[in-house]
Amino acid sequence: MITTDWGNYEETIIVMRIEGHWQTVDFDIHLAYLQQMVKSKSHPLCLMFDARLAAPVPAAIVKRINAQLTDKQSQLERIVAIITEQQKHTLALISNFYPALVTEVVVVDTVDDAYQLILAIA
More confident residue, 96 or 16: 16
Averaged over 17-22, what is the pLDDT?
92
pLDDT of 12 > 90? The answer is yes
- Give per-residue pLDDT as tens, 37-81: 999 999 999 999 999 999 887 767 777 777 777 666 567 888 899
Complete domains list, the chain, with CATH: 2-121 (3.30.750.24)
- 111's enclosing H/E stretch is helix 111-121
**Does the structure show a pLDDT above 70 at 114?**
yes
Which alpha helices (DSSP H) does 45-94 contain, by range?
Answer: 59-70, 85-94
Instruction: Kindly report, residue by residue over 97-109, the tens digit of the pLDDT.
Output: 878 777 888 999 9
> Which residue has better confidence, 64 or 118?
118
CA torsion, points 19, 24, 29, 32, in degrees to nearest 10? 110
pLDDT computed for residue 65 by the predictor: 77
What is the share, in percent, of the chain residues with pLDDT greater than 90?
48
| 3-state SS assignment for residue 66 | helix
Range with the lowest mean pLDDT among 19-28, 68-77, 86-95? Answer: 68-77
